Copies of this chain bind each other. A is one copy, B any other.
């Protein structure tokens, strides 16, 4: 069973966290059979935490958890903090394949998407 965990920074502003939850719901709908579970987690300031989000996937039977950073730049959060949070759960569940895929800002189609927004 394959799960997708969208990881966002988290905000003091509830509406920003809710934007992430709504995005997650749209991804869940689109995913169809590609992922049995699609949820979100937050690095800080909102719940669930990344370890709790991974825990939920594992408890639901995931043997693969794809962690997708909803971030625009490869800053400290993407390079160190998120891998650090994931590492602890990977050690706890060595039989579950937990891996981090490239962050949103690295997607090759972002420039074209930006031009569409600008037109």
Q: State the A residues within 8 Å of B (CB).
A: 4, 6, 8, 11, 13, 15-16, 19-20, 23, 26-27, 30-31, 34-35, 66, 68, 70-76, 101-102, 104-105, 107, 109-119
Query: Are B23 and A111 in contact (CB-based, < 8 A)?
Result: yes
Q: Which of B75, B114, B116 is the one whose CB lies under 8 Å from A11?
A: B75
Residue from the list B13, B73, B76, B109 in contact with A75, Cβ < 8 A: B13
Copies of this chain: 2
In the bound complex, do residue B74 and residue A15 qualify as a contact, i.e. CB atoms below 8 Å apart? yes
Contact of A74 among B19, B30, B66, B75 (CB under 8 A): B19
23 contacts between A and B (CB under 8 A): A4-B118, A8-B72, A11-B73, A11-B75, A15-B74, A16-B73, A19-B73, A19-B74, A19-B105, A23-B111, A26-B111, A27-B114, A27-B115, A30-B112, A31-B115, A34-B119, A68-B114, A68-B117, A71-B72, A72-B72, A102-B117, A107-B116, A110-B113
